[in-house]
Amino acid sequence: MSVITLTTDFGPGEYVAQMKGVILSLLPGTTFVDGSHEIRPGDVLEAAYLMEVMVPAFPPGSVNVVVVDPGVGTGRKALVVRYAERTLVAPDNGCLTAFFDEATAVHEITEESLFLPEVSATFHGRDIFAPVAAYLAGGGTLTGVGPEFSGEPVRVEGLHAEGEHGRVLHVDRFGNLVTSFPGQSVTDRARLEGPQGIVERTARTFSEVEPGLAFLYAGSGGRLEVGVSGGSAAKHLGWGPGTELRLRSDA
């Protein structure tokens, strides 16, 4: 009962299907969970946030692959990380930033005998990450994919706000804005400033707020989020991934 989760910026189509086909060819009976395939193309910061929020929900023993890989085909390295009994597989570009501090092992993927016989220049998801994930989910060891990683893994900047300065990390399907501020910063005195907009209202749930008004709340992923009841905060405020924000605490 191996569980492999896949998170990419590929969209839910032919690329993800090929990864699953490769994995099932090597490890029949794998259970797949699609994390998200809607990450903005190349947005490693969004990938890092989504992995942070999803991985704890995935079961111990699961192998969690994230491929947002604008540097595919260059010299960027590839990593396997062990974190809280889960295994994480990704290019070394910051997608796994949330996990390095508490990782119990980080290995570099170098064992080419695990890869597909022909490795393309543009699709390591299928040719490298999929077969490596199958190997690991089938009981393979981290040492089997390559040596302990001696360098410092790449971390993406901006995953956590620094003081007053943060940003939008992700917009969900409702148009809610997930920010780099912690959920605990939602207090009666909080005041979030962004381009052409300020949000000061706070609430616990959407139904507390009059439709059409923007408000701050502590999101289910542990971050300060901005919502509009019955509407899209992203549209309402014109903010989106990367929008810079400032969080003040009114005296």
Give yes or no for residue 25 binding its own copies (CB under 8 A).
yes
- Which lies closer to its own copies via its Cβ, residue 99 or residue 107? 99
Give yes or no for residue 24 binding its own copies (CB under 8 A).
yes
Give yes or no for residue 37 binding its own copies (CB under 8 A).
yes
- How many CB atoms within 10 Å of residue 210? 10
Give yes or no for residue 122 binding its own copies (CB under 8 A).
yes
Instruction: Return the residue of 44, 45, 58, 81 that touches its own copies, per CB under 8 A.
Output: 58
- Label each residue of the chain as H, E or C: CCEEEEEECCCCCHHHHHHHHHHHHHCCCCEEEECCCCCCCCCHHHHHHHHHHHHHHCCCCCEEEEECCCCCCCCCCEEEEEECCEEEEEECCCCCHHHHHHCCEEEECCCHHHCCCCCCCCCHHHHHHHHHHHHHHCCCCHHHHCCECCCCCCCCCCCCCECCEEEEEEECCCCCEEEEEEHHHCCCCEEEEECCEEECCECCCHHHCCCCCEEEEECCCCEEEEEECCECHHHHHCCCCCCEEEEEECC
Residue count, binding to its own copies (CB under 8 A): 64
Instruction: Return the residue of 34, 112, 164, 210 that touches its own copies, per CB under 8 A.
Output: 34
Contact 79, 89 (CB under 8 A): yes
Instruction: Return the residue of 72, 109, 156, 192 that touches its own copies, per CB under 8 A.
Output: 72
Instruction: Return the residue of 219, 239, 245, 247 that touches its own copies, per CB under 8 A.
Output: 219
- Which lies closer to its own copies via its Cβ, residue 7 or residue 87? 7
Give yes or no for residue 206 binding its own copies (CB under 8 A).
yes
State the minimum distance, in angstroms, from the CB of residue 208 to its own copies. Answer: 8
Give yes or no for residue 105 binding its own copies (CB under 8 A).
no
Contact 186, 224 (CB under 8 A): yes
- Which lies closer to its own copies via its Cβ, residue 193 or residue 240? 240
- Give the binding range for its own copies (CB under 8 A) out of 72-80, 89-97, 153-161, 187-195: 72-80
Residues that bind its own copies (CB under 8 A): 1, 3, 5, 7, 9-18, 20-22, 24-25, 28-38, 41-42, 50, 53-54, 57-60, 62, 70-74, 120-123, 126-127, 172-174, 204-207, 217-221, 230
